[in-house]
């Protein structure tokens, strides 16, 4: 499947969640079995030889492909959630995003020092959520951390860039305009 076919499977919603923001909705990509398989195949091929032991999927769309990737990679899945959603002791990180502030949490026993962690989410835009997830995962001192996104929105300024020691990949690079 070509990049263009994958792009065509994405719904673009103008002015969501706020006026002036163009929202790239990957749920339409997920409901297309060919497109979803293609995305998973591409990400799997990028990471199959990296020794990934945990995939940390960022709430909520990062759960979908993240859990499927974990299963394909033979890794565990770690949900990165909004506050109050995880039932046991958590570690948290707050951050700024393009339309406000937020906080994410991981269970305090989710990642160990022998883990190699792939952080996964659907979109990389300003980098706020992704950078917070990287900081959160790094507090566990794993062997290595990688970050992957389905879409990198390249013309959005990175107000919170991902640290340079974390390799970042994206399946598609798109412009918001």
Is 93 a known active-site residue?
no
Query: What are 61's two structure tokens?
Result: 């769309």
Q: Which SS3 state, helix, strand or coil, does residue 153 take?
A: strand
Q: Which residue has the tokens 């499947």?
A: 1
Among 38, 42, 59, 61, the one annotated catalytic: 61
- CA dihedral (116, 38, 26, 134) in degrees, to 10, reads 10
The answer to whether the CB of 97 falls within 8 A of the CB of 126 is yes
- CA dihedral (3, 173, 139, 66) in degrees, to 10, reads -20
Query: What are 84's two structure tokens?
Result: 């109050």
Among 92, 98, 135, 176, the one annotated catalytic: 98
Is 61 a known active-site residue?
yes
Q: Which SS3 state, helix, strand or coil, does residue 9 take?
A: coil
Catalytic residues, by residue number, are 61, 98
């Amino acid at each position: 499947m070509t990049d263009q076919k994958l792009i065509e499977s994405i719904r673009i919603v103008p002015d969501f969640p706020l006026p002036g923001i163009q929202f790239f909705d990957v749920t339409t990509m997920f409901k297309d079995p060919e497109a979803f398989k293609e995305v998973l195949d591409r990400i799997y091929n990028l990471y199959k030889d990296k020794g990934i032991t945990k995939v940390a999927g960022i709430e909520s769309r990062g759960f979908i492909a993240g859990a499927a990737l974990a299963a394909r990679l033979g890794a565990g899945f770690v949900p990165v959630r909004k506050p109050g959603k995880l039932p046991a002791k958590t570690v948290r990180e707050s951050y700024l995003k393009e339309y406000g502030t937020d906080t994410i949490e991981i269970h305090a026993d989710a990642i160990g020092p022998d883990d190699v962690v792939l952080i996964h989410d659907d979109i990389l835009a300003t980098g706020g959520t992704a950078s917070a997830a990287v900081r959160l995962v790094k507090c566990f001192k794993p062997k290595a951390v990688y970050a992957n996104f389905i879409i990198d929105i390249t013309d959005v300024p990175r107000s919170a860039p991902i640290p340079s020691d974390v390799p970042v990949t994206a399946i598609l690079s798109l412009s918001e305009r």
